[in-house]
Chains A and B, each alone.
Chain A
Amino acid sequence: MATMVQAVRLALHYGETHLGVTDIFGEDVGPPLGGVFTATQGLRTAWNSPLDERGIVGAAMGIAYAGGRPVCEIQFCDYGFNIIDLLKVAGNQRWAGAGEFDLPMVLMTPSGSGIRGSLYHSHSFESWASRLAGWKIVMPSTPLDAYGLMLSAIIDPNPVMVLLPKALLRVKGDNLIPGEPDDEGELKRRIDAPVGDRAHWQPNWPAVEKYIVPLGVGMLVREGTDATIISYGRTLPLCAQAADQVRESTGFSCDVIDLRSIFPYDWKMIAASVKKTGRVLIVNEDTEVTNFGEHILRRIVEEHFYDLLVRPRVLMGRHVPGIGLNPVYEQNTVPQLPGIKAALEALAKDAV
């Protein structure tokens, strides 16, 4: 099975061969490296930009204005804090311009912790991103969803940000991408650039097919009756694991929702599950003051207050300036499996 980074590469290949993608660019995105995570190896339209995030986003906007279909990359979302006003402008161009100018651009960027990334390679971005009206924001937790969400991001004629959970980029999926070879060794031989001299290397792309994960549609990855867990990105598989363990040991069963789209989010799925279970745990790793999960919590409290059996909970990253390099910092700054499991057990024990 493809890893998430291979899935992104396959999606971009499909994008430039079937969906009109004209430019895939950013820092080290083109040959010879093909991206620091290898997401852009071997792509026909990939090119290297100056190390200038504002220039990257601005160029993507200009290319989109002039009829191109750009996919730009910010190498780590941590480097994107100097582009916030350009992102605001990109989100408002259609609204401010009387609906005349579409901006069909994709911005992809690795987000979150999990690679021992220290202060400037561990940030989360979805809470910042969720405040950018006019954008659509997605964050996959599986390779297949990364493929399907990337195709949607490319097809959608509005600015779409694809947040890629760093910790999951090299994790293999459970499902084949349509057209992906069954043998993962074969996939690797065909699309992974060799280590060393790549001057004459060309990928041998498999004939991957169109597969869409619509924007705004979550995925119920576990079905239960007693509680609702809402998550996405790196913490999603941890939530599923915690739910499995608690169910096995106590019989307490949960809906686990992989939101997949941060905006628009799948409110119907959230609301139906909360109504059914009455217990809610929201988990993400962004910092806890003005966190996107708090918005979901606000709507749940306001619109489903009388459906709740016990107080709802949000498990988030600590409000500290960064994630320190020593593992003790990361382990205790952002949610990990034991903490999620403990929060779920506490939710289960709350008396009605």
Chain B
Amino acid sequence: MPKKNSMPVKDRAVKAGIATGEEVLPVERCLQIHRIMVLARALEERMIKMSKSGEGFFWIGGPGEEAFNTCLGFQVKKGEGPKFDYLHFHYRNSATMLAMGMEPIDAIRQMAMAWTDSFSRGRNFPSHFSRKAWNVVPVSSVIEVQFAMAPGTAIMQKRHGDGVTIVVGGDAGAAQGDFTSCLLWSSRPGNELPVIIITMNNGWGISTSHCSQHSCEHTIERGKAFGIPGEVVDGNDPVACWYAVERAFRYSRSTRRPFMLEAMVARLNGHSSSSGALRSDEPDCIAMFEDRLLAVDVLTQSKIDQIHSQAHAECDDAVAQVMREPRPGFGDIDKFTYSPSEVDAVYPGDYTGLP
């Protein structure tokens, strides 16, 4: 962890980075995080437009979670197989995927239900990512199943190298039994698992407030019953998020045990397009970060404007391109149901309709 710096705030920022308490994030890293946060926001806003324009049907995503999700994505040990980190996302992790190297057009292809959608071939809702090369397992719309699956990938990781499993859900989803299953399976005596259990606490489950259904303020409090340590972090502060994620990775990777992380975040555009995706007046992590970057002269307003306009232009160009790309056809309906099998007499290849 960085040592306490005694220089004046402005000098500290210029020479070292942006500080939260005693933690200082280097300027280059701050700029890198800021760019991805802005790109993620532009992507989500463009996809919201698509949901209203008919270029897509439904939008769900992560405006308000960019600070934490970006810091998570940059610190993943990215690769394929149990020696690398496994990611069991929920449907608000676009900033994590962008930080890992996803192009905005990849998400737009899914939003547009294009055949070129590498995640689901135009089948799944937006932000339902899937990428084998990065161990991103298919995201499901149901809000709990990832917690049941996460211990499985961690079981394999414990046998191979130092990879960890990251599982992400919302505070409302923590009501599901699978959340408790994850705590239980990750902490079996003698069989503890390297799982980082992340709750993105935006205080809402569609229209139901967290405090009306949950007697405990934070989901990590439940970890105590299973001996799982945890931390609550201000999900609007990229500096705090960076170091909280770093601590979680360090703990789980080195001890091969579970850790809980709860990011307090905003939900800036409602649950999904089903509630209009209208912008709320909750705190905006990007605007707040930009105020800090401006205050210490790391960025100017014109540079910030340029970053935003570049991000929007990139997304606009991507939509224009995707609109020219092929859509799935009738002959694609059965594809990818089955993997080829040497022991199946009816479907040695893929599914082809009834036997």
Contact = CB atoms under 8 A, between A and B. Distances in A.
Nearest to B178: A54
A34 B137 CA distance: 32
Given A94-B338, A95-B337, A98-B120, A59 B343 contact: no
Given A57-B148, A59-B148, A96-B124, A214 B181 contact: no
Contacts of A37: none
Contacts of A65: 86, 137, 149, 152-153
Nearest to B81: A67
Nearest to B124: A96
Contact of B181 (A58, A63, A101): A58
Interface residues on A, range: 35 or more
B145 A62 contact: no
Nearest to A100: B132
Contacts of A338: none
A54 B355 contact: no
A68 B153 CA distance: 9
Interface string B135-157: 00110101001011111111111
Interface stretch (A119-127, A192-200, A235-243, A263-271): A263-271
Interface in B300-355: 335-347, 354-355
Contact of A96 (B120, B131, B157, B184): B120
Interface in B151-177: 151-157, 165, 177
- Select the residue from A50, A65, A94, A263 with max chain B CB neighbours within 10 A: A65
A50 B354 CA distance: 38
Nearest to A213: B343
B152 A266 contact: no
A98 B81 CA distance: 18
Interface string B50-82: 000000000000000000000000000000011
A98 B121 contact: yes
A226 B151 CA distance: 55
Interface stretch (A149-157, A178-186, A244-252, A279-287): A149-157
B224 interface: no
B258 to A, nearest CB: 14
Nearest to B121: A98
Nearest to B336: A99
A101 B156 contact: no
Given A89-B140, A157-B340, A98 B117 contact: yes
A173 to B, nearest CB: 21
A50 B186 CA distance: 11
Nearest to B84: A66
A152 B124 CA distance: 31
Contacts of B259: none
Nearest to B334: A95
A98 B328 CA distance: 12
Given A58-B151, A66-B86, A96 B138 contact: yes
Nearest to B154: A62
Interface in B267-322: none
A54 B177 contact: yes
B242 interface: no
B188 interface: yes
A263 B347 CA distance: 10
Interface string B105-133: 00000000000011111011000101110
B185 interface: yes
Interface in A1-41: 22-23
A214 B152 contact: no
Contacts of A217: 345
B163 to A, nearest CB: 9
B130 A85 contact: no
Contacts of B188: 50
B341 A89 contact: no
B128 to A, nearest CB: 8
B82 A67 contact: yes
Given A61-B152, A65-B152, A98 B345 contact: no
A52 B152 contact: no
A202 interface: no
Contact of A66 (B140, B156, B354): B156
Contact of B339 (A52, A55, A133, A157): A157
A98 B119 contact: yes
Contact of B342 (A59, A86, A155): A155
Contacts of B130: 96-98, 100-101
A190 interface: no
Contacts of A152: 343-344
A55 B119 contact: no
Contacts of B81: 66-67
Contacts of B185: 50, 52, 55, 59
16 contacts: A54-B178, A58-B149, A59-B185, A61-B149, A61-B152, A86-B148, A94-B339, A96-B123, A96-B138, A98-B118, A99-B335, A101-B137, A133-B337, A152-B344, A158-B341, A266-B345
Interface of A: 22-23, 50, 52, 54-55, 57-68, 70, 85-86, 89, 93-102, 104, 133-134, 136, 151-152, 155-158, 212, 214-217, 263-268, 299
The 8 closest A-B pairs by CB, nearest first: A62-B152, A58-B148, A99-B336, A216-B346, A66-B156, A264-B346, A97-B138, A97-B130
Given A100-B131, A134-B338, 5 more contacts: A59-B185, A62-B150, A156-B341, A215-B346, A263-B355
